[in-house]
Amino acid sequence: MYNVSAQVAAGYEALFEALVDVLRAEGMVDAIEFEHAPLLPDFWQRPDLLLSQTCGYPYMTQLRGHVHLLATPAYVFDGCTGPDYASAIVVRDGGAIAILADARGRRAAVNDAHSNSGMNALRHAVAPLALNGRFFSGVTWSGSHRASLALVQNGEADLAAIDCVTLGYLRREQPSSLEGITILQYSAPSPGLPFVVGAAVPEGVRQCLRHALLAPAAGLAGVMPALSISHFAPCSTRDYERIGALEAEACARGYPHLA
């Protein structure tokens, strides 16, 4: 989910390799195929899915019954508190938007309609300011947080909500991607991106992976710092209902769609 650079991608591959090594040591798996650029959300619904990381919004809206929650990583980036994260609502530095209300009638860049950080959190933030179901002049669907940042940088959009973990990785790995960008405010927090297993994964394998995350041995613990993961926290569907609550609050204010 956080494939922002080759180094970060390699870090996550090492993390998943460490988890698979735990299963191999227990004799629980044999051949494993790693998908480096899976088609989402179809990948999460595959009957042969073993392990992945997903976004909490599609988990709540599309994936229950297809996956089981394992644990949620706690990142050490600005905007993160334990397993919770928030979106940084960003604008161009030195522009005319000083507070969120100033963005009325401007254009938003959003990574994906099924993104909690890019869409759901932003919808919740602007819902109290919307009039007759509208706040922005338009929405550009960018395809990624990095593309949303580029649209704001070059003036094709005025505002975007960026996952604070993505922002932290970019600040560390590709600081030029944040040039001319300033954080206006953070969104309401919600649970971060959980690690999940496919629905067909046996209970014993599921419990083995959950224990490996919650009490990491040397192999896994050794790769976590490079990803700025301090620990993994237990999680349940009830935790992720907070994401649904953000949507419900926006709908209650007459703002069901980002517009």
Confidence of residue 240 (pLDDT cuts 50, 70, 90): very high
**What CA–CA distances, in Å, run from 61 to 70, 114, 115, 230, 254?**
18, 9, 11, 28, 20
> DSSP string spanning 150-211?
HHHHTTS-SEEEEEHHHHHHHHHH-GGGGTTEEEEEE---EE---EEEETTS-HHHHHHHHH
Q: What is the predicted pLDDT for the residue at 34?
A: 84
pLDDT value of residue 256: 98
Could you name the CATH architecture of 6-76+191-244? Answer: 3-Layer(aba) Sandwich (3.40)
Between the alpha carbon of residue 97 and those of residues 23, 137, 149, 167, 176, the distances in Å are 51, 14, 16, 20, 22
The count of residues in the chain is: 259
Contacting residues for 39 by C-beta, under 8 A, at least 6 apart: none
Same fold, 6-76+191-244 and 84-189: yes
CA distance 80 to 46: 30
Q: Of the candidates 159, 120, 122, which has an alpha carbon nearest to the alpha carbon of residue 137? A: 159
**In the chain, beta strands by DSSP E:** 51-53, 67-75, 84-85, 87-92, 107-110, 138-141, 159-163, 181-186, 190-191, 195-198, 229-234
The secondary structure of residue 142, as a DSSP letter, is: -
Query: For tokens 């334990």, what's the residue?
Result: 82
pLDDT tens by residue, 97-152: 999 999 999 999 999 999 999 999 999 999 999 999 999 999 999 999 999 999 99
Is the distance from CB of 205 to CB of 53 less than 8 angstroms?
Answer: no
Q: How far is CA 201 from the centre of its chain?
A: 23
Instruction: Tell me what pLDDT residue 10 has.
Output: 95
Tens digits of per-residue pLDDT, 174-218? 999 999 999 999 999 999 999 999 999 999 999 999 999 999 999
Residues 58 and 114 sit within 8 Å (Cβ to Cβ): yes
Q: What is the pLDDT of residue 1?
A: 76
- Tell me the C-alpha distance between 157 and 5, whole Å: 24
Cα 258 from Cα 31, distance rounded (Å): 43
pLDDT digits (tens, 9 = 90+) for 29-67: 877 888 877 778 888 989 999 999 999 999 999 999 999
The mean per-residue pLDDT over the stretch 218-247 comes to 98
Domain boundaries, the chain: 6-76+191-244, 84-189
Angle formed by the axes of helices 164-173 and 6-25, to 10°?
A: 120
Q: 84-189, what's its fold? A: D-Maltodextrin-Binding Protein; domain 2 (3.40.190)
pLDDT at 36: 74
